[in-house]
Amino acid sequence: MTTDVSAAEPPVPACPGPGPDEARWLSEDEQLAWRAWLFSSLLLHDRLDRDLIRETGISHAYYEILVQLSETPGHSLRMSELAERCLSSRSRLSHAVARLEERGWVRRQVCAEDGRGQLAVLTDEGFAALEGAAPVHVESVRTHLLDQLSPQQITAMRDIGETLLRHLAPR
């Protein structure tokens, strides 16, 4: 087999000994671990998002915005702070908040301290929508993630996630 390519192996097998600027290809084990993570995370995100949309009409991205606002005293956040907490670009958040505004779940308010800023504020209707969606989402997270794993696996998952977060989102 001289024509296999994957994340683990080069399209053309690497030389026996790695050369000076030879890329470090993945071992069999690394490959299997990486692909298992890749596919399982894609499938899980997809599943949770679809469940939530089907049963509540709220995508996970929008749900996250509502959650972040609800967790804040005053149920409001500056647009950029909200974007950061939602792992969203400012532009993306701006679009998303516009749509949530149309639904009457969030409203914008000019920021008192900084005339440039906008405050996204969760409305009562938005809070009610979140109250309705939260149990559905939690159930879905349980069914497809937590119920599938042993307590040790859940601990390990947290450990791995936190390790990666320190690298990917320092501070």
Partner DNA sequence: GCGGAATAGTAAAGCCTTCAACTACGCTAG
Partner DNA sequence: CTAGCGTAGTTGAAGGCTTTACTATTCCGC
Binding site for its own copies (CB under 8 A): 3-8, 10-12, 23-26, 29-30, 32-47, 66-67, 70-71, 73, 75, 87, 127, 130-131, 134-135, 137-139, 141-142, 144-146, 148-149, 153-165, 167-169
Rounded CA-CA distance 162/169 in Å is 10
From candidates 41, 89, 143, 153, binder to DNA by CB under 7 A:
89
Q: For residue 144, how many other CB atoms are within 10 A of its CB?
A: 14
Nearer to its own copies, 78 or 144 (CB): 144
List the structure tokens of 128.
């009610």
Angle between helices 60-70 and 90-102 (to 10 degrees): 90
Select the binding partner of residue 104 from DNA, its own copies, none (C-beta < 5 to 8 A, by kind): none
Nearer to its own copies, 112 or 169 (CB): 169
List the x/- string, 117-136, binding to DNA by CB under 7 A.
Answer: xxx-----------------
Point out which residues pair with 109 in neighbouring strands: 119
Question: Which segment (9-17, 82-90, 132-140, 154-162) binds DNA by CB under 7 A?
Answer: 82-90
Interactions with DNA, residue window 40-59 (CB under 7 A): 46, 50, 53, 59
Select the binding partner of residue 117 from DNA, its own copies, none (C-beta < 5 to 8 A, by kind): DNA
In the complex, the smallest distance separating the C-beta of residue 76 from DNA, rounded to whole angstroms, is 11
Residue showing tokens 């890329």: 23
Q: Which of 36, 45, 60, 77 is nearest to 160 (CA)?
A: 36
Rounded CA-CA distance 8/1 in Å is 14
Instruction: Check the CA dihedral 137-139-143-148 and report its sign.
Output: positive
In the complex, the smallest distance separating the C-beta of residue 108 from its own copies, rounded to whole angstroms, is 20
Rounded CA-CA distance 161/44 in Å is 15
